Chain A
Amino acid sequence: MVYISAWDEFVERSIQLYRADPESTRYVMKYRHCDGKLVLKVTDNRECLKFKTDQAQEAKKMEKLNNIFFALMARGPDVDISEVTGKDQMDAQPTKKGRGRKQ
């Protein structure tokens, strides 16, 4: 088990993992307030994907992943998730990030 550092990779691989075996894949969120840490885990008991963060910004992205999994699990693995993912795009952020790094 390794933590995946890139958010997009985590999302993509966890959806893949779920679709491969919808009935035995679970999505777990762990939040620890005193340490300010958030850990997301997707596993089918054979493979385990994890993502760890302490950034509020990532929690916003998590909200979208939550919606994806709610849709996938309540409506079925074949549901079109593009309507969930495409609603509000988070792509506006990278420009800000770029600015910060220039320093």
Chain B
Amino acid sequence: MVVLQLDPFLNELTSMFERSTAKGSVWVTLKRSSLKSKVQRNKLASAGETIEYRCLIRATDGKKTISTSVGQKDHQRFQSSYATILKAHMTSLKKRERKDKKKSAETDKREGSSKKAKKV
């Protein structure tokens, strides 16, 4: 698995989304991790040292896996760029709001006319 810096990760994630438009899926996993092996963790724990945890982010399109990690200081910057990428690429989801507006406009009209009818 390739461990990348934040910006290269985001770039690669973008191209994964672009490559999987015709077919395929993209998976993104978030996990809390110390990025250390169990042995290393045990060593640190027995030495009485505190283990630093970060948020590990992995992404795959089924062919290639990339990963990066964010800590306390940089997670906010990362999560907003991540959200922007998602927003830009999750375009095949259905937009219900637009339909709702049409529907609600129609129902408003109907309701309006039925009210009038009742009054008469």
Contact = CB atoms under 8 A, between A and B. Distances in A.
Given A22-B32, A23-B32, A100 B103 contact: yes
Nearest to A72: B32
A101 B92 CA distance: 24
B15 interface: no
Contact of A31 (B82, B90, B100, B108): B90
Is chain B's binding surface mostly helix, strand, loop or mixed? mixed
Contacts of A26: 29-31
Interface string B64-100: 0000001110011011001100110111111111011
B106 interface: yes
B100 A99 contact: yes
Contacts of A35: 92
Interface in A12-34: 22-23, 25-34
B103 A56 contact: no
A46 interface: no
B71 to A, nearest CB: 6
B93 A59 contact: yes
Interface in A60-75: 62-63, 66-67, 69-75
A56 B91 CA distance: 8
B3 interface: no
Nearest to A102: B107
Given A70-B79, A100-B104, A30 B92 contact: no
A80 interface: no
Interface of B: 17, 20-33, 53-56, 70-72, 75-76, 78-79, 82-83, 86-87, 89-97, 99-100, 103-104, 106-108, 111
Given A30-B27, A32-B24, 13 more contacts: A25-B32, A29-B27, A29-B28, A31-B17, A31-B25, A31-B26, A32-B25, A67-B83, A69-B30, A70-B30, A73-B32, A74-B54, A74-B75
Which 6 interchain pairs have the tightest Cβ spacing? A73-B55, A74-B75, A36-B92, A56-B93, A74-B55, A73-B32
